[in-house]
Structure 1
Amino acid sequence: MKTVIRLACLICTAAALSLLHAGERVGDFALIDHNGYQHHMAWYDDHDAVVILPQAVGATDQASLSALQSLYNQYADQGVAFFLINPGLQTDRQAVADAIPNVPIPVLMDDAQLVSEALGLTHMDQAVVYDPASFEVVYRGPVQAQLEEALLALRADESVELVEIAGQQTPIAYGGIDGSAVSYQDDIAPIIAENCAECHRSGGIAPFAMDSKLSVQGWSPMIREVVMTKRMPPGQIDNKVGHKILNEMNLSDQDMQTLVRWVNAGASIDDSEADPLTELVWSDTKWKMGTPDLIIKVPPQTIPATGVVDYMDIPIDLGLTEDRWVKGSEVAPGAPEVLHHIITTVVPPEGRSDPQTAFIQAINSLPEERAAAIRAQMFAAAAAGQQPDIDRIFRENPDIDVGVLLGGGDADQASVAGYAPGNSVSWNPDGVGGLLRAGSGLSLQMHYTTTGKEMTDATEIGIYFYPEGEVPAERMSGGVGNAFTISIPPHAKDHEMELVTYIPEEAEIRSLMPHMHFRGKRMKFIAQYPDGEEELLLSVPAYSFNWQLSHELAEPLRVPAGTKIIARGAFDNSAQNRFNPDPNTEVNWGEQSWEEMFMGFYEWKLVSQNN
């Protein structure tokens, strides 16, 4: 029999107390903390309780913070998750960190103020305690004995009624738009048109359309949920740090406020308002960049309803009888429901180079002292009947280009777009291009996943050429970082990894792309310069295998020769990861989705071309 906590008739001289009925719930949400890690609160449903206290530079209630730290020291390793939350009063992560030195509790950065609002926080000395399994709030008030009693009741799996005690310290000022004043026509429809409608339309890749006021109103609870949990728009980055990204999909804080507060206010629509979404016109062509100069039809592939589909390696003859310079390329998937990715390799007329030969050539190109040491390592491994530690060789010699194992080499050779959800176009800046020589072909590594329904995929690849006789002045280069050895323990919630990619010449970095599989959790990219200084380029705090996105810098970043790009990330091999096929197994490197990869793909342009 569960014990019901009933804290009634409390007489408080400094705070008013009200005992409310159980049942008040805060919805699921996700926020990035001041260290750049994202916390999706549904992930904490294996905890007994979650405790959250406001924090702000110059406004933190120090007595409450000290009391919370005491509880943290006592209960953090006993199934209780502790957080601070900055209710949109600052967005500068470093300023927040500097304000709470030596405090180990993450500060959730509620830049749009929506989570603090949903938690019912009104004062800086008001903490919230809730049950992470049900999101039911059981306490709201100062950090005092009643808070600990509610926490202990949750730990004991006892029924708890909500206790609310008014805060007495600094009030939290909420700003922004009033949800009841939001206009569908002037406020909501433009946000949907700009950020959602291209996918959420008839014939789009999204599972439902938002192409009218009634459809948006009907889906409004879902809109609130995906905005609050940062599931949509997809592939969001941490846009408060690093370099500005040209193709970022984040909603602005203001747009988030507008959408969520409109939904909270009832998602009302004035029938007299016009409906801008019904006036949107979409191209009826499959090609985003216009009709290609060359269309390659990949042989149709029938994908079964169930089971595992082995990777396919499909050779394609381009039929080119003369050299052509490539401006860009695009993949039009035939059945995006089953096509997970395509890795496209250009095969020159003389055929692909042997990866082993290319690897040996890359080793021999190093200074002889290092090359001799690597050859000795490889000889010793062979003599012992073992495979050489390729991962160690690349880790200790980051100036070896991993791309040599993936078919790279010719500086003039064009690249052709591959495919992954959200990433189907490769387009060069004006005056930049690559050469497809007569007789060249393609090798397509195609990966399909089953969906419960047999489907046939008839993908096409379009290539766009420069006009005949026009030779672009510059070439695009790039690099690949790849961890060849991966060993993720069973049930590991945050298994960290790091890899380094070397930029041999002065270059302009153009884009960065992380790649992991189902257990991928996060990845960030840091430039480490020859003098040892480091600069954060991009943070992807909530990596999603469903969206393989290349992030293009709004302004190319010029870096000196010898710069290293460090990719730091982590895997979640626990049961809390809802995409995890099996948390009970050790996970190693492999091509299939239930195995893992840890890779960074980079695009840069060598500055020497301008000389």
Structure 2
Amino acid sequence: MTLFCPARVPVPLVPSLLLPLLLLAAPAPAASDLPPQKVDDFHLLDQNGLSRDLYRQKLSKAVVIVITGNGCPIARQSLPELQSLRKEFASRGVTFWMLNANPQDDPESIRKEAAEFQVDFPVLLDHGQWVAESLGVRRTAEAIAINPRDWTIFYRGAIDDRLGYGEQKPKADHRYLADALGEFLGGKPVSTPRTDVKGCAITFPPAGTVTYTKDVAPILQAHCVACHSPGNIGPFTFPNYDKVKGWSATIREVLLEHRMPPWPADPSHGAFENPRVLTETETRTLLQWVAAGSPRGEGEDPLAAHPPAAPDPWPLGKPDVIVSMPTEFNVSATGVIPYQYFKIPSPLPEDAWVRAAVVKPGNRKVLHHALIFVNYPEALKSIEPKQNAGTAGFFTGFVPGTDPVPFPEGTGKFLPKGTEFIFQIHYAPTGKPEKDLTQIGLYLLPAKPQWELRTRAVTQTELLIAPGASNHVAQASYKFRKEAVLHDMSPHMHVRGASFKYEMLYPDGRRETLLSVPRWDFGWQSLYRLKQPLKIPAGSELVCSGTFDNSAANPSNPDPAAWVIFGEQTTDEMFIGYYDIAVPPQEATARPARKEKPAPDEPQK
């Protein structure tokens, strides 16, 4: 990170006897007078739970961030001028945000303050204060104006000179921020790039002494090494201090951008069994360590002394039964490969219940995803799970970012004798020929469980996303005719996906947000397992809603000029809200088959 250095200016010579007096009289520069010249990217949620990423504002002409805080008189009295500035400059391409870094302000109180004072700006929630610290913020009511062409600060300071401590003018003599924006947008040098700020002081915790051996290594062992070790999914490893120090700048970057740990769910909604998150204290520790130059500390190197065990090809242990593709599939070096379907008879000699079904990719470099469907014998079609090529559900699967886990306690999935597995596999060429032999491992239960687990889906297939659309909305829903118990949720979109939300509408009129993913990440499609399973009354409606970003601001967008529809390839889109519910097991008796679209029945490739 480059620190801001003021331009050199000529200094008149003064008699040497006067120089000490001048130095004593000159005030020391405040911390906020020495901001970083270039602002690093960051990701925060706003008061409404929407994702805000700085570098996604690259199409704006300027970005203004105003520091605020609940109860601060100067911040509150600055709001009318801020509203006026947005009215004046928003049409010229200026984006206005506010940022609250007060440790005493929680999300609910920030929402109440915004509602009371009719604040319709996004108020970014920086409760951990890492963005405020990276910006050198010390007080509220400070405005920071950023050039999205190179992300440098072109103005920093007060909005105007109207407000002071316990006093205010009827009218400002100097509209510092307005003048700076006008000059910048007019292509002129900003005449006053820095001014003093009067606002409420923000409390920051004291910076302690942080070392690798005492503070950092335990955090990495608990949260990072499982992936960042030989043979695991992390692109680089953390075997010792020297390697970790070498990656320290990247650690800081991914923490500020909330790319790691990979858990995009909004913490305001839902409590989950398997969150991949750091506490605010852990994040602050890592950032302080990087800022201090990554000191090692005394004693042995914990990561070198206690390396993780080699990854097990079957993380849940050796399966009771392994079902494999019949032969290796040859993946071409280039081109678009249609979905491949492989039909494999179940080797189970009798009816069985399974407590887990894990997909083991044969070649992770080319396996984009795999869904496994089941075809029951014809006499049992009436109790076969709904699947419809994956738009209604599936038996098990693999997508990027998923961890193999057993089914929830007390549940299982049914495999009658004579079942046929159908592997649906999406391959992505790497530029050279590859081979793949994917398998599934079945872990059997000794008896019928209390509950049958079914993977279902709420799907919207009628997608038509216009070129350049930055906030295309999609929605789908399902109404429960019978009681059920909800255990897991797993949203699915492609690279233009922006956000995804699950809500439950209850028969008594209540509306509950079960899961909100404000920033969709195609590379990490997590399974969200509720810490406390949710009993769903009959008549409840599950509503899935989300947005797509087909604009040039989306760094993952392959073609902002394209119309996009629902389809299988990554350049198409999908909107599927998978979920796992537990229902009483159905009896495996012959009944008339229900009429529905069957699971895929493609010829074996």
Q: TM-score, normalising length from structure 1?
A: 0.83
CA distance in 2, matches of 1:18, 1:158: 27
Please state how far the C-alpha of 1:16 moved relative to its aligned partner: 8.8
Assess, with a 3 A threshold, how the Cα gap between structure 1 residues 584 and 83 changes in structure 2: closer, same or farther: same
Matched, 1:438 2:417: yes
Q: In structure 2, what is the equivalent of residue 49 of structure 1? A: 62
Please state how far the C-alpha of 1:429 moved relative to its aligned partner: 3.0
Q: In structure 2, what is the equivalent of residue 405 of structure 1? A: 388
Detail structure 1 runs of 4+ shifted over 6 Å in the superposition: 5-9, 15-23
Q: 115, 137, 146: which one pairs with 2:153?
A: 137
Q: Is the CA contact 1:506–1:558 (under 8 Å) kept in the aligned structure 2?
A: yes
Structure 1 unmatched ranges of 5 or more: 10-14, 362-400
Q: In structure 1, what is the equivalent of residue 581 of structure 2? A: 604
Please state how far the C-alpha of 1:110 moved relative to its aligned partner: 0.5
Q: In structure 2, what is the equivalent of residue 343 of structure 1? A: 371
Please state how far the C-alpha of 1:129 moved relative to its aligned partner: 1.1
Please state how far the C-alpha of 1:471 moved relative to its aligned partner: 2.4
Q: Is the CA contact 1:331–1:462 (under 8 Å) kept in the aligned structure 2?
A: yes
Please state how far the C-alpha of 1:131 moved relative to its aligned partner: 1.3
Assess, with a 3 A threshold, how the Cα gap between structure 1 residues 90 and 529 changes in structure 2: closer, same or farther: farther
CA distance in 1, matches of 2:311, 2:387: 40
Aligned positions of 1:368-387 closer than 5 A: none
Matched, 1:125 2:141: yes
Q: Is the CA contact 2:126–2:132 (under 8 Å) kept in the aligned structure 1?
A: yes
Please state how far the C-alpha of 1:159 moved relative to its aligned partner: 4.7
Q: Is the CA contact 1:305–1:454 (under 8 Å) kept in the aligned structure 2?
A: yes
Assess, with a 3 A threshold, how the Cα gap between structure 1 residues 166 and 332 changes in structure 2: closer, same or farther: same
CA distance in 1, matches of 2:56, 2:473: 18
Aligned positions of 1:308-457 closer than 5 A: 308-350=336-378, 403=386, 405-406=388-389, 416-423=395-402, 425-457=404-436
SS of structure 2 residue aligned to 1:575 = coil
Please state how far the C-alpha of 1:511 moved relative to its aligned partner: 1.1
Q: Is the CA contact 1:311–1:447 (under 8 Å) kept in the aligned structure 2?
A: yes
The amino acid of 1:135's aligned partner reads: W
Assess, with a 3 A threshold, how the Cα gap between structure 1 residues 560 and 154 changes in structure 2: closer, same or farther: same
CA distance in 1, matches of 2:277, 2:122: 22
Please state how far the C-alpha of 1:407 moved relative to its aligned partner: 8.0
Q: In structure 2, what is the equivalent of residue 86 of structure 1? A: 100
Q: TM-score, normalising length from structure 2?
A: 0.84
Q: Deviations over 1:6-60 (max 9, x none)?
A: 9999xxxxx9999979971221111111111111111111112111112222226
Assess, with a 3 A threshold, how the Cα gap between structure 1 residues 31 and 433 changes in structure 2: closer, same or farther: same
Please state how far the C-alpha of 1:478 moved relative to its aligned partner: 4.5
Q: In structure 1, what is the equivalent of residue 119 of structure 2? A: 103
Q: Deviations over 1:188-227 (max 9, x none)?
A: 1121112211111111112111121111100000011011
Aligned positions of 1:527-538 closer than 5 A: 527-538=504-515
Q: Deviations over 1:127-181 (max 9, x none)?
A: 1111122221122211022222222233234455883323222101112x62x61
Matched, 1:191 2:219: yes
Matched, 1:151 2:186: no
Please state how far the C-alpha of 1:503 moved relative to its aligned partner: 2.2
The amino acid of 2:478's aligned partner reads: T
Q: 275, 282, 297: which one pairs with 1:248?
A: 275
Q: Deviations over 1:300-359 (max 9, x none)?
A: 222222221111111112222212221111111121121111111111133996xxxx9x
CA distance in 2, matches of 1:269, 1:279: 17
Assess, with a 3 A threshold, how the Cα gap between structure 1 residues 595 and 518 changes in structure 2: closer, same or farther: same
Aligned positions of 1:188-587 closer than 5 A: 188-239=216-267, 241-270=268-297, 272-276=299-303, 278-298=305-325, 299-350=327-378, 403=386, 405-406=388-389, 416-423=395-402, 425-467=404-446, 470-587=447-564
SS of structure 1 residue aligned to 2:411 = coil
Q: In structure 2, what is the equivalent of residue 62 of structure 1? A: 76
CA distance in 2, matches of 1:278, 1:422: 29
CA distance in 1, matches of 2:53, 2:556: 14
Assess, with a 3 A threshold, how the Cα gap between structure 1 residues 576 and 352 changes in structure 2: closer, same or farther: farther
The amino acid of 1:77's aligned partner reads: S
CA distance in 1, matches of 2:484, 2:241: 48
Q: Is the CA contact 2:357–2:443 (under 8 Å) kept in the aligned structure 1?
A: yes
CA distance in 1, matches of 2:391, 2:352: 18
SS of structure 2 residue aligned to 1:181 = coil
CA distance in 2, matches of 1:419, 1:583: 28
CA distance in 1, matches of 2:376, 2:454: 17
CA distance in 2, matches of 1:48, 1:544: 26
The amino acid of 1:276's aligned partner reads: L
Assess, with a 3 A threshold, how the Cα gap between structure 1 residues 18 and 258 changes in structure 2: closer, same or farther: closer
Please state how far the C-alpha of 1:91 moved relative to its aligned partner: 5.6
Matched, 1:113 2:129: yes
Please state how far the C-alpha of 1:472 moved relative to its aligned partner: 1.8
Structure 2 unmatched ranges of 5 or more: 1-5, 11-27, 161-174, 587-605
Q: Is the CA contact 1:64–1:142 (under 8 Å) kept in the aligned structure 2?
A: no
Equivalent pairs counted in the alignment come to: 547
SS of structure 2 residue aligned to 1:476 = strand
Q: In structure 1, what is the equivalent of residue 591 of structure 2? A: none
CA RMSD of aligned residues (A): 3.0
Q: Deviations over 1:488-545 (max 9, x none)?
A: 1110111111111222222221111111111000111111111221011111011011
